[in-house]
Amino acid sequence: MSRWRVALAAVLVLTACQSGPDQQTSESRQITVTGEFGSIPVVTFDAPLPVKEGTIEKLVTGEGRELVPDGPALLAITAYDGDDGTVLTDRSPGVPRNLLLTTEDVGATLYDVLVGSTEGTRLLMTQPVDDGGPDAMLVVVIDVLHTRATGSPGEAPPEGIAVTLEEGGAPVLGSLAAVAEPTSLGIVPLLVGEGPQVRPGQQLIAQYTAWNWDDGSVYDSTWANGGIPATITLDETFPGLRNGVVDQKVGSQVLLLIPPALARGTDALAIVVDILAVVGEGRVAEESPPAPSSPASP
């Protein structure tokens, strides 16, 4: 398997509207790809693939945000052995990778393809492998995941609370001056996604903005950092955020109204979270995650 580790490191640093389970076929190599966008796809071809020059094709063109240099790129990458079609499990197949669109993060070849591509796109890459043994081909499927919530309309915020979105997706919260501070956790799914449910013990890849309740000031925001999603370890974050996102689905946007006892410090918080992806198997939902040993930011 050493050749595949070398190839994946070289190609990926990898070199570094959702689609349904429709079949997509490579025009140049007759490689068929099926499976839900964002999941581990099923790839079929006549093995072994003949060793040829590498190729990159767009199997599906997404309708989401256009990727720009130095901007966020959330990728789900699955690689296959071109000799027999097996999934290369040593490279975390299908696990979302929260990257920047730079040549350092994604490699020069993939960078040129991703710049100008849109979220929701599925790419197929083939790459010859040579590490001193017999030459072979590597097959890689790359799903360009969304960096903002894409779910269907859900519930309206409680009376007196207004949430609007800027053009790029960043949330804006109206004044909370006339709204009583929450005494229990409020969970309002503004958008409802269709992806997997968040489970205790997982890592969450998300966009969020958190506001202090008393004066409406922004406490923390990924959107203020160029819209680069954060990776949040649920077992290490504060209870209001952790409990508020568990059981919600990927693709959802959730408004959390968090009392001081479940927040950080002494102030209540309002948080709008875009749930983009989850990492790890997690635990059964009925199991309560351990309390963090010390307060941690999202």
Query: How do residues 114-137 score in pLDDT, each as one tens digit?
Result: 999 999 999 999 989 875 566 889
Whether 105 and 188 share a structural domain: no
Percentage of the chain modeled with pLDDT above 90: 73
Q: Which residues of 132-152 are buried (b: 16+ CB within 10 A; e: fewer)?
A: eeeebbbbbbbbbbbbbbbbe
Q: How far apart are CA 36 and CA 151, in angstroms?
A: 16
- Residue 187 covered by a domain: yes
Whether 69 and 204 share a structural domain: no
Q: What confidence score (pLDDT) does residue 265 get?
A: 80
Question: What's the pLDDT band for 19 if we cut at 50, 70, 90?
Answer: very low
Q: Give me the long-range contacts of 22-29 (CB less than 8 A, separation at least 24).
A: 24/59, 24/60, 24/122, 24/124, 25/59, 26/55, 26/57, 26/59, 26/124, 26/126, 27/57, 28/55, 28/57, 29/55, 29/126
185 phi and psi angles, rounded to 5 deg: -70, 125
Q: What confidence score (pLDDT) does residue 28 get?
A: 54
Q: How far apart are CA 252 and CA 263, in angstroms?
A: 21
| Mean pLDDT value across residues 255-271 | 95
pLDDT above 90: residue 149: yes
DSSP 222: S
| Mean pLDDT value across residues 254-275 | 96
- Residue 287 covered by a domain: no
C-beta neighbour count of 64 within 10 angstroms:
18
CB neighbour list of residue 91: distance below 8 Å, 6 or more residues apart: 4, 5, 8, 12, 77, 79
25 phi and psi angles, rounded to 5 deg: -125, 130
- Residue 293 covered by a domain: no
Whether 172 and 229 share a structural domain: yes
Question: What's the pLDDT band for 287 if we cut at 50, 70, 90?
Answer: very low
Which residue range(s) make up the domain with 91? 2-145
- Residue 99 covered by a domain: yes
Residue type, 260: P
Whether 250 and 266 share a structural domain: yes
Question: What's the pLDDT band for 12 if we cut at 50, 70, 90?
Answer: very low
Which H/E stretch holds residue 10?
Answer: helix 2-12
Whether 160 and 242 share a structural domain: yes
pLDDT above 60: residue 27: no
Indicate the residue among 145, 163, 191 that finishes a domain: 145
pLDDT above 80: residue 10: no
Whether 132 and 258 share a structural domain: no
Q: How far apart are CA 147 and CA 144, in angstroms?
A: 9
- Residue 127 covered by a domain: yes
Mean of per-residue pLDDT scores for the chain: 87
Indicate the residue among 145, 180, 208 that finishes a domain: 145
- Residue 125 covered by a domain: yes
Indicate the residue among 145, 167, 202 that finishes a domain: 145
Whether 174 and 102 share a structural domain: no
Whether 216 and 267 share a structural domain: yes
Whether 198 and 235 share a structural domain: yes
Higher pLDDT, 275 or 129: 275
The enclosing domain of 131 has a CATH number of: 3.10.50.40
When divided into structural domains, the chain yields a total of: 2
Q: How far apart are CA 254 and CA 42, in angstroms?
A: 32
Whether 23 and 125 share a structural domain: yes
- Residue 52 covered by a domain: yes
Q: How far apart are CA 54 and CA 137, in angstroms?
A: 8
Whether 177 and 255 share a structural domain: yes
- Residue 166 covered by a domain: yes
Whether 120 and 165 share a structural domain: no
